[in-house]
Copies of this chain bind each other. A is one copy, B any other.
């Protein structure tokens, strides 16, 4: 019988160390030297496992995207057809992993480095919840991303009731509001 928890490959150790650094100390700590130190090797050895730093970052973006998809799929399974439930899950994931979320959404995605279909998979629950309209789905995603980013960046007033703002957006993009009202 195969080992149920196979030893992680070096590449996996590197990605895991990079993630821990990013999540605990922020983007400035994400250097090849710090990553190597965390793994217990010297920085030049990293280049036997990843061509360059961008490739390490791309692996972290793929992780974040996959976990976002999983969070949305779980929310959909619990509460089918509810954009509010998806929005809550999206917010929860992003606020739990602020540096990772930012890395994954903040700069262009190296699409050749992520699994084909992963972007679509992450978008699918939202598409379904807003009634299958791609334009509504994009607007709803923008709302959720904007709320998360403005919240993470501290741009709302300190005393703002963000739950109410989220509820407003959840209401605005409900599937029932998307079909034919004047």
Contact = CB atoms under 8 A, between A and B. Distances in A.
Interface in A104-149: 105-109, 133-136, 138-139, 141-147, 149
A135 B167 contact: yes
Interface string A148-174: 011001111000111011111100110
A31 interface: no
Contact of A138 (B134, B154, B165): B165
A162 B167 CA distance: 24
Given A142-B169, A172-B177, A135 B153 contact: no
A110 to B, nearest CB: 11
A166 B139 CA distance: 7
Given A160-B134, A172-B177, A143 B139 contact: yes
Interface of A: 105-109, 133-136, 138-139, 141-147, 149-150, 153-156, 160-162, 164-169, 172-173, 177-178
